[in-house]
Structure 1
Amino acid sequence: MTDQAVDTDGVELSEKDRRRAVPDDLTNSQFLGRTRELKELRADIERAGLDTISGRKAPRARVLLIAGRPGNGRSALAEELVRLVADRYPDGVLRARLTEPDGTPVPTERTVRELLTVLDLPTPPGAAEDELSQLVREALGTRRMLLLLDDAADAEQVDALLPDTPDCLVVAVSDGPLTGIADVRPCTLGGLDTKSAVELLARYTGSVRITVDPRAAEGLVEECAAQPAALVLAGGWLAARPKAAVADLAKHLRGDDTDGTPLARVFRLAHAGLPSAAQRILRLLCLAPAGIVDPQTASALAGCSVGAARTTLDDFAALGFLRPVPSALPQYEVPGCLHALLRGLMESHDRPAEVQLARARMLERTVRLLQSCRAITETDSPQAREKLQAMPDALRFPTPRAAADWLRIRQPALLASARLAVADGDLDTLARRLMSQLVRALVAHFGTQAAAPELYGIHRLVLGVAERRELPREQAAALLNLGDLDAQTGRTQEALVRFRAALDAGRAANDPYATGRAMESVGGAHQELGDYDRAADWFGRALAQRLARDERADAARLYGRIAAAHTYAGRYGEALRGWRAAVAGHRKNGDVAAHARALSELARVQEYAGRPEESLDTCQEAVEWARRADDLRLQAALHLRMADTLDHLGDPTAARLHRGSAQRLLPEELSGDEGAAAVVGGAGADAGVGAADLRDPDPAPGDPAVESAAEPVARSVAESQAAAPESDDPESEHGANACEIRSTSTKG
């Protein structure tokens, strides 16, 4: 574990440092066998379906099913078929894996989100599964694409993704039939033909060892049931032992009278042939999130250096235990057919405490990598640079671009880490820290809007942990964040329910910030729904709390929100009183920019109330304050407003002068009527009246967003031990603020 802190490999996307784990001649670069199956599958594509035979146009895409046991080469055959026919589908190929490595079906919601992302289509955060599935089907309905659905658990998973067009083709891989899907063309796989199986062995052993004893090679193929996964492991075992005869391995397998499939027997033999340290590392790889492991993950699981972990992973790939993943980073996939075997060996060989410690080390490493990933975006801050330099070299990124690339490539595994950590239940402190850092890294590199779908899922996980641990403050923060995201996508009623629940949680936690924030958000939701009386009432409750706590800046802002609600309701007298209170509050606080914006809104309401002369005077005052605030956009908007008012008062000459002033301030943006309208509307939105804001109520710059400051929770022994070797972390969050989840809609 000491090596974790001193390794100098770093986290970098260097082209010259990327090397394949297995030489090209030992990989699946040339597909073997399955000639008959490929011919039948290609013929099925051309063959008329039941609808065509009956004279009807096919309402949905053709579905080809490749069925067989894991390890029979189902996915390889599907990929080869896709390669052969991909040129018929000019819009490309979509791929999705429908089962987790441990056999758990992937929720359809997650699958369709991934497909929408690949299609570069927006994925509304928090949208229901049916809505998302419909978006995918609509997108595919206008395209000619090939959809590869690997490892489908049941027909329902496939049915939800079927395009409503015959121009697309779906290739599904599954253990058995997809009952319920019409006109499926199945292809059931067994073992390879003997010639192809022997050739697969020869790729690992070399042709000489096969040529000298072809009967032994055929006998080994028979012992492996011609199963590709078993043959790969057997070939790797022979490649690592140049002096071993093929007949010796076949004899050994023949004499193994233990229960299990041929794959299980070959796997146990290959595992037993490893050094004890390598055996342990291999077993622990079943803990890798999403079945994808990189050197950092393996290093943390094993407690060794990153360099040693990468060498070990390369060796495992050469032996057939792992498959290299095409990626800009060195990544490897644990074959699904080996996952259950690895887990079984881990449960029988490793003590539960050791497994838990390895899992905790992996999560701790992930937390620190995310801290480094976020910190490199804050290079303008001397304090952030100092913290970054204090991190070990192995955890630092050379550039912000490298950090963003790492985050993008590893995002599926990082999200899987969060889900697994929450499901574990014994490492909640680490899980909360992981989710906190993941939120911050996603926002820092991709922005709140782009990362909103992922953030929604993370906040739901946070809420689950907070409810399980009875942490009302974190419940309030998670509910507020979820409500913000619901509000952004127009689900105002759902957002209102979240905000009310957050208010209850904030009161239970005796957290005045969360309580005040929730009351404002409830008011914003009512305002968006058109219930201006309730909106003003809730804003008033939030104002009373701010005044009681002497939070003057927030109080001044709330006066404006109350005034906005009255403006929408047409109660201009009350709106004027509210804006005057807001103006006075901002003036006392010395907030020049907010003072100018409040004056501009006061002028707007005066005009609505039929007081154009007062509106002109207020606009003049607002222009002066906007000039002091150096807000050119607001100055231009105010000049345009005065020009419109003067036109109404019958003074076109003065109106032209003000329009000229606005044109000089923003010559490019005021090139036409639409530009002028945009400037005026933008200035109003800055003041908080242009549209109902039911998200974070525009806190002042530097004002912290809602923070989920976790109450102390007893950490497990594994968490403590995992953190101990890395206690030099300048942002260690083992204390009371272990899981700080910021509001996703913070402005500032």
Structure 2
Amino acid sequence: MTDQAVDTSGPAGTAGTAGTEVPSGANPPQFFGRRRELKALQADVEHAGLDTLAGRKAARARVLLIAGRPGSGRTALAAELVRRLGEPGDHPDGVYRVGLTEPGGERVPAERAARGLLDLLSIAAPPGADEDELSETVRRAFAGRRALILLDDAADAEQVDPLLPDNPDCLVVATSTGPLTGIPGVRPCTLGGMDAGSAVELLARTIGQVRVTVDPRTAEALAEECEGQPAALVLVAGWLAARPGASVADATRRLRELPGDPEQPSGTRPLARAFRLVHDTLPAASARILRLLALAPAGLADAHTASALAGCSVSAARTTMDDFVSYGLLRTNGAGLPQYEVPGCLAPLLRAVLEERERPAEIQLARARMLERTVRQLQACRAITDPEGSPARRRLAGLPRSLRFPHPESAAEWLRMRQPALLASARLAVRDGDLDTLARRLVAALVRALAAHRGTEDAAPELYGLHGLVLDVAERRELPREKAAALLNLADLDARTGRTREALARYRAALDAGRAAGDLYATGRAMESVGGAYAELGDFNRASDWYGRALAQRLAQGERADEARLYGRLGAVHAYAGRYGEALRSWRAAAAGYRRLGDLPAQARALSEAARVQEYAGRPQESLHTCREAVELARRAGEVRLQAALELRLADTLDRLGDPAAAGLHRSAADRLLGDEAPAYEIRSPSAES
């Protein structure tokens, strides 16, 4: 779990007071103490590795390890080291930071950590890619770079190894509780408590030099009582800063009177007692908000999150959280849309006091309120992208002002900033299992918001994970309709990224789920997609069989648009298989279907494909006649570019028939239609694009 730090300069630009945040109201954050450790770490950077001493070029990036307990300031020390090493010229390709442990103590999966690094590099990774593929992508991305990578709060070497670049010009700084056994050449730096001088300086920096000067020995005793732990010192300093009439001796006495928990490791007791000192002296309403922040997904909250959890107003929640920042209980990004983060070292203490003071039913109710508020915010975020006067915008006008967005840009910025917390909220809601209805609503709202603001292609990696969550809920609750929908969505993303066999397996599973649910749409869609997967694999016999099954169902239901499209798909695979007679019949049927629908452009494209098949079959005169029919339809439809493309098709056919003069006339007609535009596109019927 990450220690306290203030992010001030990008992905890894953190700074803090001996690994902690100076409470707000003080001067800008500065780094105190740890001079010896910093000097040793900087010397390690220049230290020759074993490969260099042996005359070999190092195969991988070097790793510096900062090890220490949560609250020891390891994250802030790593950030300060990275800040000093990240001077222009030393690592010109940037500094990149990714956390490897959730606030709840769970390991961040390697796949998500790798995606985090790739996102910082603005490199799109295919949705659904496995750990090995993503790890290889990370290595390729850093192959030609001189970059600094901060891997924060690694659980073990297995988390770090997949993220190490095969590039000795990169440097990795990792933080962890213990050693990273298994990674060769790691240079460890183990943190204990701060030295007394730096600890007293930290106190003076927060509460003022006068209160320390009048009783310097007691200040040293207070630092000793906190065992030099920066996080504990910041909490006590925040407590004193909020009480100008209290002395350092008062804080020391109160701290000593607090009983220690014998079940806790001795190294964590100072921080636990400092936290209890602050928590137990907060007003009851504020203390409750603080406890409930243990439920904030990914340890990230905004005023709406706290308001929903505690059932208070948004303004009261924001004021209270700003007070928590001054205590050192939270840190904030200080942006126009402020977001607050629970320091990782305090997360387990918050969870413990929450379970101690709040009833399970109250915790569940708070979680439900938070999810419901998040769903409404996502619905507002999605609705603002609709045109004025639309039903969604009318519903948006009925929401409280605090939940509405003034314009799409503000909604997109909120979604971008809150995305890590929103994705974590969806994962937690599904994993919890007690609020599955709310979880499904949350995932659906998040999918729609991401698609509206980022587009399905750009948001595909996130959508893949969200559809996987829907599948988890559907399987747990035995909901075949939702299971079929999730499998179809996942299979579509698999197919788009070239994992056709994986997509085929999911389409078949979706067909089974659709049949179990009696969902004709899902079964028809699955059969058609199975046919498309087989076509992609080059198995045109199976493709035509599955398209035929899907067509039979559409014919039984009288769905004319789908019938015409499926006839076209059948025509395409029959043509690929060399069955030109069947292909021609299918394209003629598709054209007839589009004629009944009054869709002239689609009818023209279908006839164009029929003409292509006739040409393949060695019937050029028939092809010429059919193509002329298509040109006339395109002209009547006003599809200029389609008409021009068909004129070029006619010219090519006439060339093959030995009539270059007529072919030239049609090419001239195509040029006149296009004018200064780009050349006519290749004709591809929608039905042929499977």
TM-score, with length taken from structure 1: 0.87
1:291 aligns with 2:299: yes
Question: 1:746 — aligned with what?
Answer: none
The CA distance in 1 between the partners of 2:347 and 2:637, in whole Å, is: 62
Question: 1:116 — aligned with what?
Answer: 118
Alignment of 1:698-709 (within 5 A): none
The CA distance in 2 between the partners of 1:75 and 1:58, in whole Å, is: 27
Measured after TM superposition, the shift of residue 531 of structure 1 is 0.6
Question: 1:506 — aligned with what?
Answer: 514
Measured after TM superposition, the shift of residue 382 of structure 1 is 2.7
Question: 2:5 — aligned with what?
Answer: none
Question: 2:289 — aligned with what?
Answer: 281
Letter in 2 for 1:598: A
Question: 2:656 — aligned with what?
Answer: 648
The CA distance in 2 between the partners of 1:556 and 1:283, in whole Å, is: 60
1:212 aligns with 2:211: no
Letter in 1 for 2:408: P
Does the residue aligned with 1:66 lie in a helix, a strand or coil?
A: strand
1:343 aligns with 2:342: no
Letter in 2 for 1:282: L
Measured after TM superposition, the shift of residue 303 of structure 1 is 1.0
Does the residue aligned with 1:377 lie in a helix, a strand or coil?
A: coil
The CA distance in 2 between the partners of 1:359 and 1:23, in whole Å, is: 29
Unaligned runs of at least 5 residues, structure 1: 1-20, 694-748
Cα contact 1:483–1:495 (8 A) shared by 2: yes
Measured after TM superposition, the shift of residue 258 of structure 1 is 2.8
The CA distance in 2 between the partners of 1:376 and 1:144, in whole Å, is: 42
The CA distance in 2 between the partners of 1:666 and 1:216, in whole Å, is: 87
Among 567, 572, 579, the alignment partner of 1:559 is: 567
Letter in 2 for 1:49: G
1:484 aligns with 2:492: yes
Cα contact 1:75–1:150 (8 A) shared by 2: yes
Letter in 2 for 1:473: R
The CA distance in 1 between the partners of 2:657 and 2:559, in whole Å, is: 41
Question: 2:525 — aligned with what?
Answer: 517
Among 503, 509, 523, the alignment partner of 1:495 is: 503
Measured after TM superposition, the shift of residue 669 of structure 1 is 4.2
Alignment of 1:639-678 (within 5 A): 639-670=647-678, 675-676=679-680
1:33 aligns with 2:33: yes
Measured after TM superposition, the shift of residue 687 of structure 1 is 3.0
The CA distance in 2 between the partners of 1:275 and 1:368, in whole Å, is: 30
User: In 2 relative to 1, CA 545–445 (structure 1 residues): closer, same or farther, beyond 3 Å?
Assistant: same
Measured after TM superposition, the shift of residue 453 of structure 1 is 0.5
Letter in 2 for 1:638: L
User: In 2 relative to 1, CA 584–84 (structure 1 residues): closer, same or farther, beyond 3 Å?
Assistant: same
Which one is further off, 201-210 or 179-188?
A: 201-210
Measured after TM superposition, the shift of residue 630 of structure 1 is 2.6
Alignment of 1:189-200 (within 5 A): 189-200=191-202
Cα contact 1:601–1:687 (8 A) shared by 2: no
Unaligned runs of at least 5 residues, structure 2: 1-20
Cα contact 1:25–1:203 (8 A) shared by 2: no
Letter in 1 for 2:629: E
> Could you report, residue by residue, the CA deviation over 1:557-598 in whole angstroms, capped at 9, with x for unpaired residues?
111111111011111111000011111111112222221221
Question: 2:3 — aligned with what?
Answer: none
Does the residue aligned with 1:160 lie in a helix, a strand or coil?
A: helix
> Could you report, residue by residue, the CA deviation over 1:575-622 in whole angstroms, capped at 9, with x for unpaired residues?
000011111111112222221221111111112112222222212211
User: In 2 relative to 1, CA 328–98 (structure 1 residues): closer, same or farther, beyond 3 Å?
Assistant: farther
Cα contact 1:572–1:609 (8 A) shared by 2: yes
Does the residue aligned with 1:166 lie in a helix, a strand or coil?
A: coil
The CA distance in 1 between the partners of 2:597 and 2:332, in whole Å, is: 60
Measured after TM superposition, the shift of residue 379 of structure 1 is 1.8
The CA distance in 2 between the partners of 1:454 and 1:517, in whole Å, is: 23
The CA distance in 1 between the partners of 2:388 and 2:556, in whole Å, is: 37
The CA distance in 1 between the partners of 2:676 and 2:150, in whole Å, is: 49
Among 620, 624, 631, the alignment partner of 1:623 is: 631
The CA distance in 2 between the partners of 1:229 and 1:616, in whole Å, is: 82
Question: 1:233 — aligned with what?
Answer: 235
Cα contact 1:22–1:314 (8 A) shared by 2: no
Question: 2:12 — aligned with what?
Answer: none
Among 385, 402, 405, the alignment partner of 2:410 is: 402
Letter in 2 for 1:151: D
The CA distance in 2 between the partners of 1:143 and 1:95, in whole Å, is: 15
Measured after TM superposition, the shift of residue 256 of structure 1 is 2.7
Letter in 1 for 2:44: D
> Could you report, residue by residue, the CA deviation over 1:104-134 in whole angstroms, capped at 9, with x for unpaired residues?
0000001111111111112101111101000
Among 606, 611, 622, the alignment partner of 2:614 is: 606
Letter in 1 for 2:568: G
Question: 2:326 — aligned with what?
Answer: 318
Question: 1:744 — aligned with what?
Answer: none
Question: 1:587 — aligned with what?
Answer: 595
Letter in 2 for 1:639: E
The CA distance in 1 between the partners of 2:143 and 2:676, in whole Å, is: 41
Measured after TM superposition, the shift of residue 666 of structure 1 is 2.4
The CA distance in 1 between the partners of 2:364 and 2:337, in whole Å, is: 27
1:64 aligns with 2:64: yes
Measured after TM superposition, the shift of residue 171 of structure 1 is 0.1
User: In 2 relative to 1, CA 548–27 (structure 1 residues): closer, same or farther, beyond 3 Å?
Assistant: farther
Letter in 1 for 2:344: G
The CA distance in 1 between the partners of 2:220 and 2:171, in whole Å, is: 37
Among 411, 417, 424, the alignment partner of 2:419 is: 411
TM-score, with length taken from structure 2: 0.94
The CA distance in 2 between the partners of 1:30 and 1:165, in whole Å, is: 33
The CA distance in 2 between the partners of 1:446 and 1:128, in whole Å, is: 23
Cα contact 1:496–1:522 (8 A) shared by 2: yes
Letter in 2 for 1:116: L
Cα contact 2:23–2:328 (8 A) shared by 1: no
Letter in 1 for 2:55: G
Does the residue aligned with 2:384 lie in a helix, a strand or coil?
A: helix
> Could you report, residue by residue, the CA deviation over 1:474-502 in whole angstroms, capped at 9, with x for unpaired residues?
00000000100000010100000000000
Which one is further off, 344-353 or 610-619?
A: 610-619
Question: 1:42 — aligned with what?
Answer: 42
The CA distance in 2 between the partners of 1:101 and 1:494, in whole Å, is: 34
The CA distance in 2 between the partners of 1:273 and 1:346, in whole Å, is: 16
Identity %: 69
Among 141, 157, 160, the alignment partner of 1:158 is: 160
Measured after TM superposition, the shift of residue 422 of structure 1 is 0.3
> Could you report, residue by residue, the CA deviation over 1:629-676 in whole angstroms, capped at 9, with x for unpaired residues?
332221111011111111111222221221222222223444xxxx45
The CA distance in 2 between the partners of 1:485 and 1:252, in whole Å, is: 59
Measured after TM superposition, the shift of residue 199 of structure 1 is 1.3
